[in-house]
């Protein structure tokens, strides 16, 4: 299931922590892409464009791995 999350209009473009999903309204995604970094006020994780890219790549890899495992299990008749 690849549903796109719905973002409130006032949060669109705000930097958002991938760990706890807290938006930082004082920082935009474009500022992060330009080199800014920030510490999440809620969970304390430090984020920058490089780390966000790595987390996104890992999420894609994990999704593909889970899909492949699911397909393999259904071929074998497992649930």
Q: What is the pLDDT of residue 70?
A: 83
Question: Which of 46, 26, 28, 45 lies closest to 37, judged by CA?
Answer: 46
pLDDT digits (tens, 9 = 90+) for 14-38: 999 999 999 999 999 999 999 999 9
Write the DSSP symbol of residue 10.
G
Q: Is the pLDDT of residue 64 over 70?
A: yes
Distance of alpha carbon 72 from alpha carbon 62, whole angstroms: 15
Answer with the residue of higher pLDDT: 27 or 7. 27
Find the radius of gyration of the CA atoms of the chain.
Answer: 16
Q: What integer best gives the mean pLDDT of the chain?
A: 85
Residue 4: CB partners within 8 Å, gap ≥ 6? none
Q: In which band, very low, low, confident or very high, does the pLDDT at 1 lie, cut at 50, 70 and 90?
A: very low
What local confidence, expressed as pLDDT, does residue 16 receive? Answer: 93
């Amino acid at each position: 299931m690849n549903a796109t999350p719905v973002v409130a209009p006032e949060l669109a473009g705000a930097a958002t922590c991938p760990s706890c999903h807290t938006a930082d309204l004082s920082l935009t995604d474009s500022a992060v892409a330009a080199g800014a970094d920030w510490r999440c006020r809620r969970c304390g994780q430090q984020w920058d464009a490089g780390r966000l890219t790595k987390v996104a790549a890992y999420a894609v890899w994990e999704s593909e791995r889970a899909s492949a495992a699911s397909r393999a299990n259904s071929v074998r008749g497992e649930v």
